[in-house]
Amino acid sequence: KNEVEQSPQNLTAQEGEFITINCSYSVGISALHWLQQHPGGGIVSLFMLSSGKKKHGRLIATINIQEKHSSLHITASHPRDSAVYICAVITGNQFYFGTGTSLTVIP
Amino acid sequence: KAGVTQTPRYLIKTRGQQVTLSCSPISGHRSVSWYQQTPGQGLQFLFEYFSETQRNKGNFPGRFSGRQFSNSRSEMNVSTLELGDSALYLCASSLLTGTGILPYGYTFGSGTRLTVV
């Protein structure tokens, strides 16, 4: 049983497209994180959310606590956005990671 | 400023051996957490240290242990290595512990890729 489900698992987009990655979870959480991992392993923290919406540049993250769902949007996608995007939720002292969405943006 | 430094970057060990990985956090960061990433299981939390004390621990066997020094540098040790321990081991540091295992304002290192043969 996976506490965190991400979709899609793989995503290919043309440069400039609007991209949405979804994260659904089954546990009560105190916070949700979106992470970006580039080839080679380096992980960058994109957002931490406990409610509402956050925006940073071309990235937007939203969370609906009642529906236990979060989305990560990328506007005007670019090849440098190609990476694996991982959703992680925190509940008490436990946390759960999604398996990631592999995004490829083609020029 | 320097980022989170993990050493070594790559490591090959034999089954049954033990290994020690090192993580030097960003200067001033007192929280260090460790993660294991494998193709099959994805990212999994190992443990978190703050001010030399282990504050949180994931569901890993006792062969996995860690410690943090007074300068906030952290080490993790895996004893009696198994083939399944082959993974990318990541650490992250943060100024604050926050309320969860991934505190706000954290930075990841590039990881140590361990191969057990």
Which tokens sit at B76?
């993790």
> Taking CB atoms and an 8 Å limit, are A90 and B102 in contact across chains?
yes
Strands (E) across chain B are located at 5-7, 10-13, 19-24, 31-38, 42-50, 53-57, 64-68, 74-78, 87-94, 106-108, 112-116
**Selected residue with higher pLDDT from A13 and A39:** A13
Q: Which residues of A touch B111 (CB under 8 A)?
A: 41-42
- For residue A14, CA distances in Å to A22, A86, A100, B16 come to 19, 21, 20, 48
Which of A23, A93, A99 has the highest number of chain B CBs within 10 A, making it the mutation to test binding with B? A93
> Taking CB atoms and an 8 Å limit, are A42 and B106 in contact across chains?
no
Which of A9, A38, A97 has the highest number of chain B CBs within 10 A, making it the mutation to test binding with B? A97
Average confidence score pLDDT of chain A: 92
> Taking CB atoms and an 8 Å limit, are A95 and B37 in contact across chains?
no
Q: Of B39, B49, B61, B55, which Cα lies nearest the Cα of B115? A: B39
**Selected residue with higher pLDDT from B72 and A93:** B72
Q: Is A39 in CB contact (< 8 Å) with chain B?
A: no
Q: Measured between CB atoms, which of A31, A45, A98 is closest to B100?
A: A31
Q: Measured between CB atoms, which of B99, B108, B111 is closest to A30?
A: B99
Q: Decide if pLDDT at A57 tops 80.
A: yes
> Taking CB atoms and an 8 Å limit, are B99 and A86 in contact across chains?
no
Residue A21 · residue A85 · CB < 8 Å: yes
Tens digits of residue pLDDT in B30-86 = 889 999 999 888 899 898 898 899 988 888 999 999 999 999 999 999 999 999 999
Confidence of residue A29 (pLDDT cuts 50, 70, 90): confident
- For residue A40, CA distances in Å to A13, A21, A82, A87 come to 21, 22, 13, 19
**Selected residue with higher pLDDT from B101 and A38:** A38
Confidence of residue A95 (pLDDT cuts 50, 70, 90): confident
Q: Is A36 in CB contact (< 8 Å) with chain B?
A: no
> Chain A to chain B, count of Cβ pairs less than 8 Å apart?
49
Calpha distance B114→B9 (Å, rounded): 8
A residues 55-84 near B, CB within 8 Å?
Answer: none
Q: Decide if pLDDT at A27 tops 60.
A: yes
> Taking CB atoms and an 8 Å limit, are B45 and A95 in contact across chains?
yes
Q: Which residue has the tokens 């990671």?
A: A97
SS3 A81: helix
pLDDT of residue B95: 75
